Amino acid sequence: MYKNLNEIDLVEEAIKNSEGKLGKGGSLIVFTGEKTGRSPKDKHVVREKNTEEKIWWENNRPMTSDHFNILHEDMLEHQKGKRCYSQDLQASMNTNEFLNIEVTTELAWHSLFIRHLLKVPSEQSLNNFKPDFKILNFPSFFSNPDRHGCVSKTTIAISFEKKLVLICGTGYAGENKKSVFTLLNFLLPERSTMPMHCSANHSIANENDVALFFGLSGTGKTTLSADPDRVLIGDDEHGWSDTGVFNIEGGCYAKTINLSYGDEPEIFSTTEKFSTVIENMNYDPSDRSLKFSDSSITENMRCAYPISYIKNSSKSGCGGVPRNIILLTCDAFGVLPPVANLTAAEAVFYFLSGFTSKVAGTEEGIKEPIPTFSTCFGAPFMPQKPEVYGKLLWSKILSTEPVCWLLNTGWSGGSYGTGKRISIELTRKILKFILSNKKNLQMREDRFFNFCVPIEIDGVPKNLLNPRENWANASDYDRSATELKSMFVNNFQQFPSINEKVDSVYNRLKDD
């Protein structure tokens, strides 16, 4: 067992073990094998007495304690005689408190990955380190559905009572970080702290000018929050306590498909920095230069790096309460406007709906955009019931009064295959408008979804702001918009009442 190796040692170990190759600038190029994305259908929560009533079982596949124990014993037996790597790391519970996590991995590069993505404790903390939870990750061990009560050879299983996460049968490193996020999604609401699948930044001049970017993978969280004119708090997972927003993690995990220096210079630069993990990317063997447009392995190619590699990143990892809340969606129907201003009730409605399109590669089997409703913009990581998170968000918005927005980074002028995806350049102009915090804006009410849409934004074509005008056939747009509205109504029927105002958003959509 190699304990708490640093980045230099882990890169050397990975290369010595033939787990990867050295890339330009000292990056580490690795491949995850058969699994190039998350496997949400293989995720299990152990059904246990102390937590059973709190778990959202419609969304979380149960596993018995007996099956979990057998899986654990079999994985430990499999581990015997093998070289393993262990890291003592931390995830934030708030600005001054951490969840201590011991992560044991079969692969050195997995140990490097999670060392980037979580926070490395101080030397004093390491001397007194006691794990609150443990993670065991052995990709070369395959689970057996008959023996382990699972569904395939890949399993991610969480026991809140045993404070243990078991991961096997997958080389995809993202399962490590999302397991930690799932733990905190269970624990933080018990402290009246809102766990959020979002990125966050604040203005350079004012750390209380915080913007949150909720969204699933592929909607633009990492891209839009890495802004040279603002300070990056974090790119994926945060908490919102009474004192403000804090980053749960210590690193970033960015998609690199078609990444370019011109569009995303901050993220592009990290791909040539020492110890950045380059995942599932083809390269030129002559100079190890990366092929950013080659998706032959997967469209879910990624890089993992410490947040300090982003020039304007926050050293404290925290900021004040949000001034702007932005719900990112990637609409493959091409129906939603690129931006809409939301009331508090509408923000909770669209947060619980979690509408977007799963883009190619983020999950196993996704080849092209698939419209989906992922509760709280992160259903696979939400162990508690949706109303817990919905009520928390409502109370936070009510007490701090941020401005709420829906920002569509998907298609316009038609659905996927007919229309065109909204460019990063135009989305950034819209985002600049949002973050300018202008008052008394001219708005129109959307005839299908009832929210308010800005009439004019500098540098943005007016027909883009009114998507019906951007379609070749307005009646085709009307049919698609009606279909999408019906999907929202049908999906929201699953949720219990949050309050009368959120109910009224749903009822108006249903009755119009």
Which member of 111, 170, 203, 222 is catalytic? 222
Is the pLDDT at 404 greater than 60, yes or no? Answer: yes
- pLDDT, tens digit, 9 for 90 and up, residues 116-125: 999 999 999 9
Which member of 182, 236, 256, 353 is catalytic? 236
Is the pLDDT at 229 greater than 70, yes or no? Answer: yes
Mean pLDDT of the chain: 95
Long-range contacts of 495-502 (CB under 8 A, 24+ apart): 495/352, 495/386, 495/387, 495/390, 496/387, 498/348, 498/352, 498/387, 498/390, 498/391, 498/394, 499/345, 499/394, 501/343, 501/344, 501/345, 502/345, 502/348, 502/349, 502/352, 502/390, 502/394
* Domain CATH number, residue 122: 3.40.449.10
Q: Is the domain of 275 the same as that of 243?
A: no
Residue 26 lies in a domain: no
Question: Is residue 148 annotated as part of the catalytic site, yes or no?
Answer: no
Q: Which two structure tokens, joined as six digits, stand for 61? A: 């596949």
Residue 27 lies in a domain: no
Q: In terms of residue numbers, what domain contains 433?
A: 194-249+316-511
Calculate what percentage of the chain has a pLDDT beyond 70: 98
Question: Is residue 72 annotated as part of the catalytic site, yes or no?
Answer: no
Question: Is residue 221 annotated as part of the catalytic site, yes or no?
Answer: yes
Q: Is the domain of 180 the same as that of 282?
A: no
User: 26, 11 in Cβ contact below 8 A?
Assistant: yes
Predicted local distance difference test score (pLDDT) of residue 405:
98
Q: Is the domain of 204 the same as that of 258?
A: no
Question: Is residue 222 annotated as part of the catalytic site, yes or no?
Answer: yes
Q: What is the spatial distance between Cα 13 and Cα 107, in angstroms, rounded to a whole number?
A: 9
Q: Which of 117, 105, 112 is nearest to 168 (CA)?
A: 105
Q: Is the domain of 383 the same as that of 272?
A: no
Task: Please state the separation of Cα 93 from the chain's center in Å.
Answer: 18
- pLDDT, tens digit, 9 for 90 and up, residues 137-190: 999 999 999 999 999 999 999 999 999 999 999 999 999 999 999 999 999 999
Which residue, 191, 212, 231, sits at the end of a domain?
191
Q: Is the domain of 231 the same as that of 350?
A: yes
Q: What is the spatial distance between Cα 217 and Cα 256, in angstroms, rounded to a whole number?
A: 12
Which residue, 309, 329, 353, sits at the end of a domain?
309
Residue 32 lies in a domain: no
Q: What is the pTM of this model?
A: 0.94
Which member of 35, 67, 221, 230 is catalytic? 221
Question: Is residue 236 annotated as part of the catalytic site, yes or no?
Answer: yes
* Run of H or E residues at 85: strand 85-92
Number of domains in the chain: 3
Predicted local distance difference test score (pLDDT) of residue 164:
98
Residue 29 lies in a domain: no
* Domain CATH number, residue 456: 3.90.228.20
Question: Is residue 38 annotated as part of the catalytic site, yes or no?
Answer: yes
Pairing mode, if any, of strands 443-445 and 452-454? Answer: antiparallel
Angle between helices 344-353 and 386-400 (to 10 degrees): 150
Q: Is the domain of 199 the same as that of 292?
A: no
The confidence band for 361, taking pLDDT boundaries of 50, 70 and 90, is: low
Predicted local distance difference test score (pLDDT) of residue 369:
72
Q: Is the domain of 330 the same as that of 413?
A: yes
Is the pLDDT at 362 greater than 80, yes or no? Answer: no
Residue 300 lies in a domain: yes
* Domain CATH number, residue 275: 2.170.8.10
- pLDDT, tens digit, 9 for 90 and up, residues 13-52: 999 999 999 999 999 999 999 999 999 999 999 999 999 9
Residue 28 lies in a domain: no
Q: Is the domain of 127 the same as that of 230?
A: no
Residue 25 lies in a domain: no
User: 269, 190 in Cβ contact below 8 A?
Assistant: no
Which residue, 191, 207, 225, sits at the end of a domain?
191
Residue 371 lies in a domain: yes
Which member of 178, 255, 358, 396 is catalytic? 178
Q: Is the domain of 96 the same as that of 127?
A: yes
Predicted local distance difference test score (pLDDT) of residue 364:
60
Which member of 44, 119, 238, 302 is catalytic? 302
Q: Is the domain of 379 the same as that of 261?
A: no
Question: Is residue 270 annotated as part of the catalytic site, yes or no?
Answer: no
Instruction: Summarize the confidence of residues 386-393 as an average pLDDT.
Output: 98
Q: Is the domain of 276 the same as that of 222?
A: no
Predicted local distance difference test score (pLDDT) of residue 490:
96
Q: Is the domain of 203 the same as that of 305?
A: no
